[in-house]
Amino acid sequence: MSYSSVPNIEPRSPQGDFVNEPFENFSLPQTARAMESALAAVRSQLGREYDLIIGGHRIRTVGKIRSINPARPAEVVGIHQKAELEHAQLAMDAALKAFESWSRVPVAVRASLLFRAAEIIRERKFEFCAWLTFEVGKNWAESDADVGETIDFLNFYAREALRLDKATTPIQFPGERNQLRYIPLGVGAVIPPWNFPFAIMAGMTVASIVTGNTVILKPSSDSPTIAARFMEVLEEAGLPDGVVNFCPGSGATFGNAIVEHPKTRFIAFTGSKAVGLDIHEKSARTQPGQIWIKRTILEMGGKDSILVCADADIDAAADGIVASAFGFSGQKCSACSRAIIEAPVYDTLVDKIRERVAKLSVGDPATNPNMGPVINKAAYESHLDYITIGNREGRLISGGAPIENADGGYLIAPTVFADIAPDARLSQEEIFGPVLALIKVSDFAEGLAVANNTEYGLTGAIYSSDRAKLDHASRDFHVGNLYLNRKCTGAMVGAHPFGGFNMSGTDSKAGGPDYLLLFTQAKSIAEKL
């Protein structure tokens, strides 16, 4: 494939400065009607079957993956082919073949593909919001944020690729012409999570391809449909065959095969600590015929805290804690799982949190409650087990039970436990659901020590009116994303490069100026004049 043969991609320059996609206001009648119309249209498409896409070829398999609506488990969102071991080599061969030409396509052309894909998604924003509502249980605002972040990643990484293409050496050595080129790595495995199945999936994929790599995309088995719809967008935007190979499949078989393959150059993964560490270990083992050290780009979750000082705005802190803990039912790696509260305001803040949580609605996300279901039956049962643990370790303030419903949805009441010890299981283990632990501390120093007492280090927040405490936390609150006097969720592309420390991953800083470097290797070229 030569440059001239890349279909439907014309190089173009970005217009103006990067601006985050604005959020929709669903309180406006016309916006609500647009979302309701999109839900009706997408509902009519539920249950469709999707193919593997390898080198542009559509493939069907005996084994199937059925994606279900977690609010209505009897409702099938999409039926997907299940990639097996034999498909790993097919996908690798297709990606290697496409790399030969795609890696030589000018950066401006690759960036233009992303700009066009962003336009397509923006034109169909409510449709993609509806798919997220049905497949992973996001309410309207959470779906809109996911789709908006997808658009942001596409536009931001396209611009960053153009900027990186203009890189120069710090100096020109006398008597030489010096160049610094950031070239692609090769074939990458992209393994995204189910909780941001559009934004994170698309972000890792387009960061790979805009820098000239090719991809084997293995979406989560809980959210393959939105990834299939994204593949359709890429194809409409002009993506050549084999640049992205769409392969839902089992992590234990197909996933491990592509991670361990000697021709895999990098693995971009977002998910649990256990799986991330397993990928890292498997990637570190050099396979026969492998001539490089594989690169892992890992984001593995967190146990995130909001520290509230006695001098804080208590109402603002209560709002931030509840929003961070129960947005998308706590199923965010950035979610507030622990509120660490100084003793003088502890009882007051506990009451304010209880009052706010009591006002949260829980139900089918298509009707736009505050909270929808958790993702699947296994998660549902795990969260209920943690509620049982919480009843032993602390004092139940709110929730603490499943919500029975006629559709059999995986609904759990937002649950808060007070008086949890800093070393309790509820304080240390990632729950990834609607369960919040409240921890009382004597002062700021103890609170900061508790905030740092887990193996994770992803997000955190502090509420205080004391500049010295905010500055101290900025230095010593050991997380990749720290927020002062605001909630600990809602990272915005460009403004809050996202990634964490310790067992939260490799601090990859998605949406930041360094991210594309992870998908490239630097080549220095010196020519004597």
Q: What pLDDT digit, counting tens, does each position of 237-267 carry?
A: 999 999 999 999 999 999 999 999 999 999 9
* Contact between 323 and 489 (Cβ < 8 Å): yes
Number of domains in the chain: 2
| Shared domain check, 116 and 58 | yes
Residue 338 and residue 193 in one domain: no
pLDDT of residue 473: 98
Active site residues: 299, 333
Q: What is the pLDDT of residue 6?
A: 55
pLDDT at 15: 78
Closest-CA residue to 114 (of 206, 10, 229, 236):
206
Do 170 and 113 share a domain, yes or no? yes
Classify residue 12: in a domain, yes or no.
no
- What are the contacts of 476-481 at 24+ separation with CB within 8 A? 476/448, 476/452, 477/307, 477/448, 477/451, 477/452, 478/452, 478/502, 479/302, 479/304, 479/504, 480/504, 480/507, 480/509, 481/334
What domain range is 451 assigned to?
304-492
pLDDT band at 75 (very low <50, low <70, confident <90, very high): very high
Helix H or strand E encompassing 112: helix 107-123
What is the rounded CA–CA span in Å between residue 264 and residue 283?
A: 9
pLDDT in tens, 341-356: 999 999 999 999 999 9
Find out whether 439 and 339 touch, Cβ atoms under 8 Å: yes
pLDDT at 465 over 90: yes
Has residue 7 got a pLDDT over 80?
Answer: no
Is residue 503 in some structural domain? no
Residue 449 within a domain: yes
- More confident call, 3 vs 425: 425
- Pair (187, 63) in one structural domain: yes
Judgement on whether residues 87 and 232 belong to the same structural domain of the protein: yes
Same domain, 225 and 366: no
Q: Which residues of 30-58 are buried (b: 16+ CB within 10 A; e: fewer)?
A: eeeebbbebbeebbeebeeebebbbbeee
Q: Are residues 171 and 276 in the same domain?
A: yes
In the chain, what is the greatest distance between 2 CA atoms, to the nearest angstrom?
A: 78
Q: Which pLDDT belongs to residue 171?
A: 97
Report CA Rg, the chain: 23
How sure is the predictor about 11, in pLDDT bands with cuts at 50, 70 and 90? Answer: confident
User: Within a domain: residue 501?
Assistant: no
Same domain, 291 and 309: no
Secondary structure class of 219 (helix, strand, coil)? coil
One-letter amino acid for residue 418 of the chain: A
> In this structure, what token pair is assigned to residue 49?
């079957």
Whether 289 and 231 map to the same domain: the answer is yes
Residues 483 and 514 placed together within one structural domain of the fold: no
Regarding whether 327 and 218 lie in a shared domain, the answer is no
Pair 85, 257: CB distance under 8 Å: yes
Query: Cα–Cα distance between 182 and 426 in angstroms, integer?
Result: 44
Q: Is residue 478 a part of any domain in this protein?
A: yes
Domain check: are 121 and 270 in the same one? yes
Strand partners, 341: 308, 440
Can you give the pTM of this predicted structure?
0.97
User: Per-residue pLDDT for 469 more than 50?
Assistant: yes
Question: How far apart are alpha carbons 228 and 431 in whole angstroms?
Answer: 29
Q: Is residue 349 part of a domain?
A: yes
Alpha carbon distance 383, 376 (integer Å) = 11
Tell me the average pLDDT across 59-67.
98
The stretches of 244-313 forming alpha helices (DSSP H) are 256-260, 273-284
The torsion angles phi and psi of 27, rounded to 5 degrees, stand at -75, -15
Cβ(365)–Cβ(71) below 8 Å: yes
Residue 227 is part of a domain; what is its CATH number? 3.40.605.10
Task: Work out the number of other CB atoms within 10 angstroms of the CB of residue 245.
Answer: 30
The verdict on residue 14 lying in a domain is no
Position 5 scores a pLDDT of: 44
Residue 340: its H or E element: strand 336-342
Q: Is 18 inside a domain boundary?
A: no
- For residue 278, the tally of other CB atoms under 10 A from its CB is 16
Mean predicted confidence (pLDDT) in 192-202: 98
Alpha-helical runs (H) found in 167-309: 199-210, 224-237, 256-260, 273-284
d(CA 322, CA 434): 10
**Strand residue runs (E) in 373-519:** 395-398, 415-418, 435-441, 456-457, 459-463, 481-484, 501-502
Q: Are 101 and 3 in contact (CB under 8 A)?
A: no
- Taking only the tens place, the pLDDT of each residue in 125-146 is 999 999 999 999 999 999 999 9
HSE-CB of 402 using CA atoms within 13 angstroms: 18
3-state secondary structure of 55: coil
**What mean pLDDT comes out for the span 315-344?**
98
Of 85, 87, 102, 75, whose CA–CA distance to 51 is shortest? 87
pLDDT tens, residue by residue, 108-119:
999 999 999 999
The pLDDT assigned to 147 comes to 98
